[in-house]
Chain A
Amino acid sequence: MEFIDFFCIFLYMIASVLFIMGIKKLGKADSARKGNLMSSIGMGIAVLSVLISQDVFDGGVIAYVIIILAIIAGSVIGFIWAKKVEMTGMPQLVALFNGFGGLSSMLVAISQYCALSGGSDAVGTDAFTSLTLGLTILIGAVAFTGSIIAWGKLAGLKMFKKNISIPGKNFINAGITFVAVLGIIFYMIDPEGGLGIAGIIITTVASLVLGVTLVITIGGGDMPVIISFLNALSGLAAAFAGFPIGNTVLIVSGCLVGASGVILTLIMCKAMNKSFASLLFKTVKKKASAATGEHKEPKAMSVEDAFLILEAAKSVVIVPGYGMAVAQAQHAVKELCDVLEDNGCEVNFAIHPVAGRMPGHMNVLLAEANVPYEQLKTSDELNPQMANTDIAIVIGANDVVNPAAINDESSPLYGMPIVNAYEARTVFVLKRGQGTGFSGIENPLFTMDNTVMIYGDAKQTVSQLVVEFEND
């Protein structure tokens, strides 16, 4: 082993430690920003290390020119994208970046295969190397096309808007997976020959298709789960890309990301009371629950009347949902929160883990509007005191406040933990119009005696309330 090899491994070690400490700090509110900085320094060190490694040095000037150019181009694109994006566009951007990570890992594996067939001895022909190389293609490709579909759904692109249902999708997905695995086996049998090339091509194509067919049937409301899952996949792809070239920093950091993605996925599933398997494999039942008993009409109220009730309130809980993001109402909500507090009212936000389209979506939007994070409470924290709350204001949320989840065993939502907004003395529901949420499930909250509906664009309604306060 040359000195430079030792030095590179030493640098990889430092990078891995920085990633671990960075992730740890990222998990605490006070140190999160520092944690992100640490992990970015780790990334810088890892890149520096590979740049001085023997492999790259042997590539000569051509290698360095290509590498530097690609890095500069990628940095400029990534930087501009990150600076320009609106906070409401965050879920789709995260999905897109994630897809790029998956695509990159897939290309790395194919490029490694090219090196092997070009006669380089950097990639072995043993079964383990071949297996991990094939798996990198499989996982990376699924993460890539899956994320692109998720991006399309989140960005509201027309072609992805409809929830496409594929008849017998489990059968089809199982078939495609089988073909992809078959390709890997072909490659393992004959890595250097024609069967190997065929295997690589089969696996690549089948896996790219699999990413599409897996994600395209999943509805918008289930996006927090699927984004976390795709995040886990892109991490795992990076980890597997480290095996064929025996690169430990790839394995460690990719695996850390994979683990965190899996945990987030499980947290999201728990918050929706769904098993991950049912989300991926069950076909969505479009059967609307039959209207049980008497059918009541929701009561509507004007903004002026709502103001009079709000003015007398001593405690208010705001329950935001995806509708708040769509209406871009977060700044108006913050203003309402300020005038209420000036009026001597206690204001809290009850945030359900799956409100919105990605984990923590509401927190990011409200933080953008300068709501301090102490005011953002989880449903577990606020539910016990909900009965003593004067007014709960539901802004663009639906299923996460549906009491059917607690008291209607026949409801598809039954068992899902919710924000118990219905227990408040009065419930305001800000809603664009009559209709059900993404799941198409009736919400009995809307017709309860203590609930009033304020129809209209959430941002306008909230702004009008603020104006009423200021004119008062």
Chain B
Amino acid sequence: MDGQTIMLLIFVFIIAAFLGVELISKVPSQLHTPLMSGTNAISGITIVGAIAACAINVDNHVFGMILGGIAILFATINVIGGYFVTDRMLAMFKKKEDKKK
């Protein structure tokens, strides 16, 4: 990796960190659990890395390919489980008028 690419990736990293801080800092406490499990699902983005890692190992390294496959499995559980469980939780948060109906 050349220096320019490295600096660009670090740049992206730092900007994303500050963006995250700005986005989250004013979340009401009642949403803390859904926020945590929702962002937890997003951390399953590593599935993208897992798919790529599995594929680049196909021709060269069987063990690496298997590890990649296992990584895909666990990342998918994280993603699918995380999104569904967050949705289930959020579906329960309702306003007063909605509940009277």
Contacts and interface: CB of A to CB of B under 8 A. Distances in A.
- From A46, A104, A241, residue with most partner B Cβ within 10 Å: A104
Interface in B1-47: 1, 5-6, 9, 12-13, 16-21, 23-47
A247 B94 contact: no
Interface of A: 19-20, 22-24, 26-29, 32-33, 35-37, 39-40, 43, 46-47, 49-51, 53, 55-56, 58-60, 62-63, 66-67, 69-71, 73-75, 77-79, 81-83, 85, 87, 90, 93-94, 97-98, 100-101, 103-105, 107-108, 110-115, 117-120, 122-124, 126, 128-129, 227-228, 231, 234-235, 237-239, 241-243, 245-264, 267, 351, 353, 358-361, 363-364, 367-368, 370, 372-376, 378
Nearest to B88: A82
A394 B13 CA distance: 45
A289 to B, nearest CB: 29
A113 B67 CA distance: 11
For the complex of A and B, 7 pairs with smallest distance between CB atoms: A74-B76, A114-B64, A259-B20, A118-B60, A118-B61, A360-B32, A78-B81
Nearest to A112: B53
B30 A29 contact: yes
B29 A351 contact: yes
A204 to B, nearest CB: 11
A252 B14 CA distance: 9
Contacts of B32: 264, 267, 353, 358-360, 363
A374 B88 CA distance: 19
A242 B93 contact: no
20 contacts: A20-B23, A29-B93, A32-B90, A67-B54, A79-B81, A82-B81, A97-B85, A101-B43, A107-B50, A108-B46, A120-B56, A237-B43, A249-B45, A252-B16, A255-B13, A260-B23, A260-B24, A358-B36, A360-B31, A363-B32
B56 to A, nearest CB: 5
Contacts of A100: 44, 74-75, 77-78
Interface of B is mostly: helix
Interface residues of B, number: 86
B92 A368 contact: yes
- From B29, B31, B82, B90, residue with most partner A Cβ within 10 Å: B29
A104 B40 CA distance: 13
A23 B42 contact: yes
A79 B35 contact: no
Contact of A23 (B23, B75, B83): B23
